[in-house]
Amino acid sequence: MRKKTILFAGATALFLSTSALADNHDLMAIQAKALNDTVAYDIVEGLTTEIGPRQAGTEAEARARVWAVDKLNALGFSNVRSEPYMMPTWIRGKETAAVISPFPQALAITALGNSASTGDKGLSAEVVYFPTLADLIAAQEASLSGKIAFVSHNMKPTQDGSSYGAFGPARFVGPNIAAKKGAAAIIIRSAGTDHHRNPHTGNTNFEAGVTPIPAGALSIPDAENLARMFALGKLVKLNLVLTPQNIGQQPSGNVIAELLGSDPSRGMIVIACHLDSWDLGTGAIDDSAGCAIITAAAKQVMAAGQPKRTIRLLWAGAEEVGIWGGKAYGEAHKGENHVLAMESDFGADRVWRVEFNLPEGASSVATEIAQALQPLGIGRGQQKASGGADVQAIIKNSNLAVIDLQQDGTRYFDLHHTPDDTLDKIDPEQLRQNVAAWSTVLSIIANDDADLTMAPTE
């Protein structure tokens, strides 16, 4: 049991461990150094400039793994390696859409991952409009035979990104639902919040036994324009050309690196990002920034001296197209002594909230972390931390504790999966605030004496 010291600030009692008080100067020094970090921006610049788009299963993603291994070795990490696996791979082809009638004009469109092909000659058909996904779900079976479904929604910016969970299903499951109702194809309003003429790509999936159909996302201005045509009571016909291909099993892989701890018995912390990106932009915010943040933070901990717990970096592959890297890591490493997982995969804007899912006996370290993050403008949330996509498998397989550093997502879905996901969208000052937040958390959790073993799940 660690002693507690009670500090009174006005009417507020702050509970800090004595070790936290002793280490306060060190934490302040680490934060100050992190707020002047150059490693994170260097990583984002390098990945986006020297590699560019890194779609999973392609030669570009393979080059990114080589680049990542070289970079992590150069930064002084241990046991740097690539862990390969195979995955089904989908690649983009021609992409055009045009209104045939009543008001002929071209529309900005991009195919969704796992979309079927229309063939080179394309598909011309009547369009049926569904203002929401719920309207599509309510449509009668086989009512869309030979027609193109068009699904809209009303996604708005939110700081916590919750709008994506509410409106993203138009992309996640809309094509599968339309296929089951007999649609020849589907187009959706992009799952995004910008009003640039940039469509947002992203994965969709079809159930076993459901034949995939061509599926594309319109830019938001084009989707709104199409909706206005329906508001005029006109019959709308569209020509759609999408020619993607499934090229079968291709190699992908995870890149692993470690900052070795002095006491392996304390267990290992895994911190994750994903190396792959969609092919429309250069993957700056999604997710070069995440890899940059976790790596720069681990480097700050390294510079401060050897931690007690090992910190393992997971630059996961093939997240965008099915979380293949996270699943591969979870299966390959489920027997190892992990105790906690964290992930950065929500851009590069400032961290504003910290959330925890720690065992009851580690409540003091959560308080210590929350207090240490306050100078960075970060408050403590009340929701339970759940981790990101690439650590879900290892969290489940190993029953891990989790800490989430929640980033401001207000502008994230303006850029997400679009051609606008490029280096110029990175705010260096906000990126450094992320590094400082991560450095603070890792410095505390990697050296704390608390037992992070979670209670068995039922």
Per residue in 393-416, pLDDT (tens digit) is: 999 999 999 999 999 999 999 999
What's at 407, amino acid-wise?
Q
Domain ranges of the chain: 32-89+249-445, 93-243
CATH superfamily of 32-89+249-445: Zn peptidases (3.40.630.10)
Per residue in 421-438, pLDDT (tens digit) is: 999 999 999 999 999 999
Give the Cα separation of 450 and 161 in Å (integer): 32
Q: Which residues of the chain have pLDDT under 70?
A: 1-25, 458
Please give the CATH architecture assigned to the domain spanning 93-243.
Answer: 3-Layer(bba) Sandwich (3.50)
Report the DSSP pairing between strands 123-130 and 148-151.
Answer: parallel
**pLDDT score at 25:** 62
**pLDDT score at 22:** 39
Six token digits for residue 393: 């498998």
**pLDDT score at 167:** 97
